[in-house]
Amino acid sequence: MVAAVDQAMDAAGLTNPHVREYVNYWAELTGAERVEVVSASDDSRLIKESLAAGEILPAGDGLYYSRSYFKDTARSEERTIVASNNPSDAGVYNNWRSAEEMRPLLEGKMRGASAGKTMYVIPYLMAPPGSPLEAYAAGVELTDHRTVALHMIRMSRVGVDFVNNLADPNSFVRAVHVTGDLENLGQGTPEDQRYFVTIGDERTILHFGSSYGGNALLGKIAHGLRQAAYDGWASGEFLAEQFMLVGITDKKTGKKYHICGGFPSASGKTNLAMTLAPDALGDRYYVEFYGDDIAWLRVDPEDGKIYAINPEFGVFGVAKDTNAATNPGALDSVAPGTQSLFTNIAYNADTNEVWWEGKTPEPPADVTGWADWKGNLISERAEGDDSPWAHPNSRFTTTLANVPNIAADFENPKGVPIDAVIFGGRTRDREPLIRAITDLAEGVYDGLTLGAEATFAAEGVDGQLRYDPMSMRPFMAYPEGAYAAHWLKVIGQAKDQPIFAHVNWFQRDPEDGHFLWPGYRENLRPLLWLMELKNGEVKGRQTPVGIIPTKDELNLDGLEIKPEDLDTILTIDNDRWRQEMGHREKHLKQFDGLPESIWEAHRRITADLEAEG
């Protein structure tokens, strides 16, 4: 086998001796029958092979569809662990375990588990080439699942050059993915066999028991977020956050702004980055997409500005409710010919069409040929079965170049300078449309107390409120107190301080449940107000929890909204907020070593709410 593995690497020109040793080790351990090194140029051949094997199905010209195992449709936070060799790395959310315990456990599960399969070797880079953070960006994913390789080619830059020419040839992330026998892993039971482990200080990722994107595309979440967050902290150099990243140009003034921000999974990052359409608001602005899920932030020592890069190469977006009105950009980016992949939506095997809830107001009237995401024919459904045709966390995968509003300079290795950092989530009451925060500690405090309703992107209960610090709860790699201190330190170095804001597109009417704010493309309006506030062009109204826009400051041209709904989303509900502060106190008390300035912010806001209430 060793000879065959070396031959495969020779043929692909994979020369880095450390990578070769790593590949040999895991080929032997997992018992893979053969090894294949993947580059982006292998995509069309891999697509053909996957079609022939029935792993993907044709979904129109240059479009493909796949189903994942029905118990394997989302990230699993309880099964996710950030391990290390240092017990003081244990935080509240990282489920810390010792590397000493985890490595043999995972090796045990993976031993022989790829027998009869091909092990795909995927050298990748999670950064635009030439980035100052490139040293943290290289990795090699090993996977025994071909569709994972197809996804990785879309979501990251893939090719042997990314690891052959490393300044330090040993400085790549070792990322091993073994699917396991999905039908016998006890998903969600006390006998759950799945383990998704990142060993932070060994820069090693070992994921066993899933082929779903969020668990199996190791460059994206495990490396791009967990490992990078750990590296950013350990090196003191940068932050890795679950952030979208957009550029907004005001054609009238010629100014360009860059905004990044964290919302928990399935709370609107991808939509925000894609839907703020160029023609919005009378063609005065144009909005460019830089990223929709991950940003790495550093302060440039020369000009003292905060720069953000999107380490990804593609978009892994939620399909539900994507349509020509909500997100035309997303539809364009998965149009025929884009080589996009769909996962777990509804599929018509006769016509190769796809559908998901919200794509059109009603599902296709003629159900002939249509099957739901589990593959069950709609025509054979029991009377009264109105379960969704697509899984609520069904996804599309496409490369950045397909996104219509992709920024011209999206591969600029330096990244873009940041003007604002926003946080948001699904909150049906209390949180106004936008509240701006001008103080760093208060901004970090706001991120740490981000609370939102659970969504389907992670296993959990839809509709239940939970705290999700900076939207990083599922990716937290080291203790939360140190995380807050690292934020204060990194951003504190910046000469130009960003403005912070908390946004909420999801406030609902308590009676009939309708969204009070139209959302989607209209979300540009509060962001423009935020930039005007930063420029000193508007004043807003100071409240204990931040500055909120007055009605006349917000651009409402052509907006359809009921006056009473607008009043509600521009108002602070003092009673609800005072109640919230008690929950926040409990939440923050879990974290050891939280910087005093965070507690000061908490006390200041609590006192201000009391004084007003």
Contact positions with ligand GDP (CB under 6 A) in 324-343? 326
Q: Which residue is nearest to ligand PGA (CB)?
A: 265
Annotated binding site for GTP: 266-271, 395, 426, 520-523
State the nearest-atom distance from the C-beta of 457 to ligand PGA, in Å.
4
603-611 — which CB contacts under 8 Å span 24+ positions? 604/442, 605/442, 605/445, 605/544, 605/545, 605/581, 606/578, 606/581, 608/544, 609/544, 609/545, 609/574, 609/577, 609/578, 609/581, 610/578, 611/544
Contact with ligand PGA (CB under 6 A) among 159, 214, 224, 329: 214
Q: Which residue is nearest to Mn ion (CB)?
A: 270
Please list, residue by residue across 141-166, b when 16 or more beta carbons sit within 10 angstroms of its beta carbon and e when fewer do: bbbbbbbbbbbbbbbbbbbbebbeeb
- Is position 322 an interface residue for Mn ion (rule: CB under 5 A)? no
Annotated binding site: 75, 212-214, 265-271, 393-395, 426, 520-523
Rounded (5°) CA angle 289-360-339: 50
State the nearest-atom distance from the C-beta of 250 to ligand PGA, in Å.
28
- Is position 307 an interface residue for ligand PGA (rule: CB under 6 A)? no
- Is position 424 an interface residue for ligand GDP (rule: CB under 6 A)? no
Q: What is the CA 187 to chain-centroid distance, rounded?
A: 23
Pick between residue 392 and residue 540 the one whose CB is nearest to ligand PGA: 392
Rounded (5°) CA angle 522-453-222: 95
Contact positions with ligand PGA (CB under 6 A) in 381-440? none
Rounded (5°) CA angle 260-265-266: 105
DSSP assignments along 537-577, one per residue = S---EEETTEEE--TTTS--TT----HHHHHHHTS--HHHH
Pick between residue 75 and residue 435 the one whose CB is nearest to ligand PGA: 75
For residue 230, CA distances in Å to 101, 295, 482, 594, 612 come to 19, 14, 11, 18, 41
State the nearest-atom distance from the C-beta of 320 to ligand GDP, in Å.
4
Please list, residue by residue across 181-191, b when 16 or more beta carbons sit within 10 angstroms of its beta carbon and e when fewer do: ebeebebeeee
Three-state SS at 91? coil
Pick between residue 180 and residue 261 the one whose CB is nearest to ligand GDP: 261
Contact with ligand GDP (CB under 6 A) among 69, 70, 286, 515: 515
Which range, of 42-50, 320-328, 414-422, 565-573, touches ligand GDP by CB under 6 A? 320-328
Helix axes of 2-12 and 17-30: crossing angle, nearest 10 degrees: 140
How many CA atoms are closer than 13 Å to the CA of 26, on its beta-carbon side?
31
> Residues 450-479: x/- map of binding to ligand PGA (CB under 6 A)?
-------x----------------------
Contact with Mn ion (CB under 5 A) among 72, 134, 288, 293: 293
Three-state SS at 534? helix
- Is position 473 an interface residue for ligand GDP (rule: CB under 6 A)? no
Catalytic residues: 267
- Is position 292 an interface residue for ligand GDP (rule: CB under 6 A)? yes
SS3 of the chain: helix, strand, coil, percent, to 5: 35, 25, 45
Size of the residue set binding ligand GDP (CB under 6 A): 21
State the nearest-atom distance from the C-beta of 55 to ligand PGA, in Å.
21
Contact positions with ligand PGA (CB under 6 A) in 61-120? 75
- Is position 208 an interface residue for ligand PGA (rule: CB under 6 A)? no
Residues at the contact surface with ligand GDP, assessed by CB under 6 A: 263, 265-271, 292, 317-318, 320-321, 326, 457, 505-506, 515, 519-520, 523
Residues at the contact surface with Mn ion, assessed by CB under 5 A: 265, 269-270, 293
Residues at the contact surface with ligand PGA, assessed by CB under 6 A: 75, 214, 265-266, 269-270, 293, 316, 318, 457
